[in-house]
Structure 1
Amino acid sequence: MILRTGQRVVFIGDSITDCGRRDAAAPYGSGYLSLVRALVGARHPELELEWVNRGVSGDTVRDLAARWASDAVAERPDWLSVMIGINDMWRRYGDRPHEAVPTDEYERTLRDLLRQAVDATGCRLILADPFLIEPDRGDPQRADTDRYAAVVAALAAEFGAVHVPSQAAFDRVLTVSPAKRWADDRVHPHLPGHAVLAEAFLTALGATAAD
């Protein structure tokens, strides 16, 4: 287990992280973050950790950049978890293609934001891949998602970050189950889908049940 007592763990991202944290499910949301928090607490009751959710539905890296100083740097995290990119790519396939963020801009912006946070706070990073709950890698949207996920994996290596392979986690369950079990729209998981994400985070943090 790599988290230590007294640490502040800040999560930032889009709707997958937000999950109602500004509304009925305040302050942690009803998704993977809440599950990670609960299970880390259950498996490591000796730890006293502070958990913060700064996800905002609909965000791309451009939106993160606009609020990075207040919602990431000013939170003074010991650990900063970032999962972003689904909207950056997904917008290309919806009714707002002009808001899609090209891969090169996505990489450049995310790298700059991560460097700002590390330089300003000394935090360690947790980087989770964007994902699409789609088993066909030849599907155009899935192929695009894989390109954005590859950027995250490369940045995780560049920054020495903890890498959470979200897409691989869904790929494993999709070998034996239909996509509709996990999400209606291939993007926003049902609670079992958030559990898939939470398990991926717990494994990356070394907080598995076998500890």
Structure 2
Amino acid sequence: MRPGSTVMFTGDSITDSQRLESEDGLGFGYPLRIAGEWGFRCPEQPVTWLNSGVAGNKVMDLEARWQSDVLDVRPDVVSILVGINDVGWHAYDPDGYLIPAEEYAAGYDRLLAPLAEAGTELILIEPFLLPVRGVLEVGAALIGPEDRKKWRADLDPKIQVVRELARKYDAQLLAADGLFAELSATTEPEYWAMDGVHPTPAGHAALAAAWLRLVTRG
């Protein structure tokens, strides 16, 4: 990243992290940690940090607000984390339905195409799911480990979509699902995300550290 760059984080609740309740609009998760660490390490390279994540968003929700929230801002770098709400666990909601991987891929591609055409640097973060053991309440349903195994079967093809799009658009890929799988091999997964989806402070710190390694390597 060059001095004076504008970096836009966008996606769902993991990125949102209560940004509207925060003084600087970055929320309380990994975007704030990235901005803080960058400012500490590189005071001579000021960067403008923005967050347009919205809790509950799917790819199609991002599409609906992409022009005003992202394209019109003309950021130099866009970092995207979206996909867990496109996974089958939303079928437990009254209005939920299963989103095919092909539909997810087509929508995600439509997000990236105008950014690539404008020369925007892209960072794609894989959606992820940790194998926690507890029970999660979704609407009126109680969702346990066996249910999350079904989510995993739906999530894996969508992670592959993100990897393929990263190659197509020469984007930086943050392999977050693999990151958390590796961390969970030595520390219980609940330490990183109590419900398997939303990171704990330690989980956000892990995401932020991986993001910074990605953009500063070499």
- The TM-score normalised by the length of structure 2 is 0.87
Deviation at 1:98, TM superposition (A): 3.0
Q: Is the 8 A contact 1:60 1:101 kept in 2?
A: no
Number of positions where the alignment pairs a residue of Structure 1 with one of Structure 2 = 204
1:160 and 2:170 equivalent?
Answer: yes
Whole-Å Cα distance in 1 between the matches of residues 103 and 61 of structure 2?
Answer: 13
Deviation at 1:167, TM superposition (A): 0.6
Q: Is the 8 A contact 1:8 1:50 kept in 2?
A: yes
2:142 paired residue number: none
Residues 1-211 of structure 1 aligned to structure 2 (within 5 Å)? 3-24=1-22, 26-96=24-94, 98-119=96-117, 121-134=118-131, 139-206=149-216
Amino acid at match of 1:18: D
CA 1:127 to 1:96, structure 2 compared with 1: closer, same or farther past 3 Å?
farther
Structure 1 window deviating more from structure 2 (92-101 vs 27-36): it is 92-101
CA 1:96 to 1:132, structure 2 compared with 1: closer, same or farther past 3 Å?
farther
Unaligned 5+ runs, structure 2 = 133-144
Does the residue aligned with 1:188 lie in a helix, a strand or coil? Answer: coil
Deviation at 1:26, TM superposition (A): 4.5
Whole-Å Cα distance in 1 between the matches of residues 105 and 200 of structure 2?
Answer: 28
CA 1:53 to 1:151, structure 2 compared with 1: closer, same or farther past 3 Å?
same
Q: Between the two proteins, what is the percent identity of the paired residues? A: 37
Whole-Å Cα distance in 2 between the matches of residues 154 and 33 of structure 1?
Answer: 24
Deviation at 1:25, TM superposition (A): 5.6
CA 1:195 to 1:90, structure 2 compared with 1: closer, same or farther past 3 Å?
farther
Does the residue aligned with 2:130 lie in a helix, a strand or coil? Answer: coil
CA 1:26 to 1:133, structure 2 compared with 1: closer, same or farther past 3 Å?
farther
Deviation at 1:96, TM superposition (A): 4.1
Whole-Å Cα distance in 1 between the matches of residues 183 and 22 of structure 2?
Answer: 29
Deviation at 1:66, TM superposition (A): 0.4
Whole-Å Cα distance in 2 between the matches of residues 45 and 94 of structure 1?
Answer: 47
Structure 1 window deviating more from structure 2 (40-49 vs 107-116): it is 40-49
2:138 paired residue number: none
Amino acid at match of 1:69: Q
Deviation at 1:91, TM superposition (A): 3.7
Whole-Å Cα distance in 2 between the matches of residues 97 and 130 of structure 1?
Answer: 22
Deviation at 1:144, TM superposition (A): 2.2
Structure 1 window deviating more from structure 2 (150-159 vs 93-102): it is 93-102
2:140 paired residue number: none
CA 1:151 to 1:24, structure 2 compared with 1: closer, same or farther past 3 Å?
same
Q: What do the CA deviations read for 1:81-104 (whole angstroms, capped 9, x no partner)? A: 111001000544532463442211
